[in-house]
């Protein structure tokens, strides 16, 4: 079995590539390397440099490698930046999935695992986000991911033989291997690591939220656990098993920004006091997800503690001099 992994040279995609290999599934990577890294792709895994927006190229790759399915992770993922770059966001995330699906239909590929996002929920009012929580995205990024889910839904209506599932990520952290680490300039873990390695204090944006310690509470999941469930979803689709349209991949329990800082202090042995800055506009006090459906259907489980998450992220980044 061969699966195309779009965005497979990125932090999350490269972990999924390795998870496919571990289960005997041959991955092929399509990545334009705008945020991915050629060195993240394991030796022996084909890497095609190009964009999912290019329907002709994508159809050629799917056909040349005899792909059975697609794990679609490629896209523009920075919610804050998407507000300034809406056209770019929609081109990469909406035109991209439409053209990718058109290419899949042309060559007869009918299994599709979609990397969606917790951004589709916006600022939820419920204590725990479930798959039934209303979707009210608040950025072009979140909107583009929701549109991607709509496209998949409508395609299934038009062709019930087309098998798809969307996986809604929360905050993905950690590393399975020192070869791959989070290089995002916007995510909390790499921001903390960069500050500590520069011998500077990390920053907390707001400590006056209605939470136990005043800092935002978020849902953090280990990238290795995320990768396991992508493989399980791909296998379920290949076996013809019925899946829900979408699943939350969350922890079911939140951690505050201050708790993350404390975990890094313990992990690194660096004694620091975070700087406190003002709130960032649009940051909700708490977002935590229930993931019971994913645990039931696609082998979802939280197998890593926060100490393992911070330690693996720190060690992988340090191994690369980051």
Q: Return the CATH number at 48.
A: 3.40.50.720
Residues 255 and 224 placed together within one structural domain of the fold: no
Catalytic annotation present for 90: no
Residues 270 and 162 placed together within one structural domain of the fold: no
Which of 141, 169, 209, 220 is flagged as catalytic?
141
Phi, psi of 139 (to 5 degrees): -150, 160
Residues 177 and 129 placed together within one structural domain of the fold: no
Residues 51 and 138 placed together within one structural domain of the fold: yes
Instruction: Examine residue 293 and state whether it is found in any structural domain, yes or no.
Output: no
Q: Are 35 and 43 in contact (CB under 8 A)?
A: no
Q: Are 16 and 73 in contact (CB under 8 A)?
A: yes
Q: Are 103 and 59 in contact (CB under 8 A)?
A: yes
Sheet containing 69-72: which strands, arranged edge to edge?
A: 47-49, 26-31, 2-6, 69-72, 111-117, 163-169, 246-249
Residues 119 and 181 placed together within one structural domain of the fold: no
pLDDT tens, position by position, 69-112: 999 999 999 888 999 999 999 999 999 999 999 999 999 999 99
Residues 190 and 102 placed together within one structural domain of the fold: no
CATH, residue 269: 3.90.25.10
Residues 311 and 235 placed together within one structural domain of the fold: no
Spans in the chain with pLDDT lower than 70: 321-322
Confidence (pTM): 0.95
Instruction: Examine residue 21 and state whether it is found in any structural domain, yes or no.
Output: yes
Residues 110 and 210 placed together within one structural domain of the fold: no
Instruction: Examine residue 298 and state whether it is found in any structural domain, yes or no.
Output: no
Residues 41 and 122 placed together within one structural domain of the fold: yes
Q: Are 173 and 180 in contact (CB under 8 A)?
A: no
Q: Are 55 and 99 in contact (CB under 8 A)?
A: yes
What per-residue confidence (pLDDT) applies to 124?
87
Instruction: Examine residue 294 and state whether it is found in any structural domain, yes or no.
Output: no
Instruction: Examine residue 72 and state whether it is found in any structural domain, yes or no.
Output: yes
Residues 56 and 183 placed together within one structural domain of the fold: no
Residues 256 and 282 placed together within one structural domain of the fold: yes
What per-residue confidence (pLDDT) applies to 156?
96
Domain membership of residue 92 as a residue range: 2-172+220-249
pLDDT tens, position by position, 25-59: 999 999 999 999 999 999 999 999 999 999 999 99
What per-residue confidence (pLDDT) applies to 178?
93
What per-residue confidence (pLDDT) applies to 321?
63
Phi, psi of 287 (to 5 degrees): -140, 115
What total number of domains does the chain contain? 2
Q: What is the dihedral of CA 216, 321, 37, 147, to 10 degrees?
A: 0
Q: How far is Cα of residue 122 from the mean position of the Cα atoms in its chain?
A: 16
Q: Which tokens is 153 given?
A: 């839904």
């Amino acid at each position: 079995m061969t699966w195309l992994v779009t965005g497979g040279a990125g932090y999350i995609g490269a972990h999924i590539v390795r998870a496919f290999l571990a289960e005997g599934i041959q991955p092929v990577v399509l990545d334009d390397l705008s945020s991915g890294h050629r060195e993240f792709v394991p030796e022996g895994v084909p890497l095609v440099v190009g964009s999912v927006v290019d329907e002709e190229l994508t159809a050629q790759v799917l056909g040349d490698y005899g792909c059975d399915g697609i794990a679609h992770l490629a896209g523009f993922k920075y919610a804050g930046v998407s507000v300034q770059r809406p056209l770019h966001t929609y081109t990469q995330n909406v035109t991209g999935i439409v053209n990718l699906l058109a290419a899949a239909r042309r060559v007869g590929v009918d299994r599709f695992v979609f990397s969606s996002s917790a951004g589709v929920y916006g600022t939820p009012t419920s204590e725990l986000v479930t798959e039934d929580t209303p979707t009210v995205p608040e950025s072009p990024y979140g909107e583009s991911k929701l549109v991607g889910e709509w496209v998949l839904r409508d395609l299934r209506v038009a062709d019930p033989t087309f098998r798809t599932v969307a996986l809604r990520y929360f905050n993905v952290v950690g590393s399975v291997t020192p070869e791959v680490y989070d290089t995002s300039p916007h995510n909390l873990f790499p921001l903390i690591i960069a500050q500590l390695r520069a011998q500077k204090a990390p920053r907390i944006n707001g400590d006056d939220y209605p939470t136990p310690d005043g800092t935002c509470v978020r849902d953090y999941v280990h990238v290795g656990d995320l990768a396991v469930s992508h493989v399980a979803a791909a296998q379920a689709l290949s076996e013809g098993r019925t899946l829900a349209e979408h699943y939350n991949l969350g922890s079911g329990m939140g951690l505050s920004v201050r708790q993350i800082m404390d975990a890094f202090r313990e992990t690194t042995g660096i004694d620091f006091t975070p700087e406190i800055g003002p709130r960032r506009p649009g940051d909700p006090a708490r977002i935590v997800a229930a993931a019971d459906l994913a645990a039931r259907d696609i082998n979802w489980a939280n197998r890593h503690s926060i100490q393992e998450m911070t330690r693996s992220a720190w060690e992988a980044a340090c191994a690369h001099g980051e």
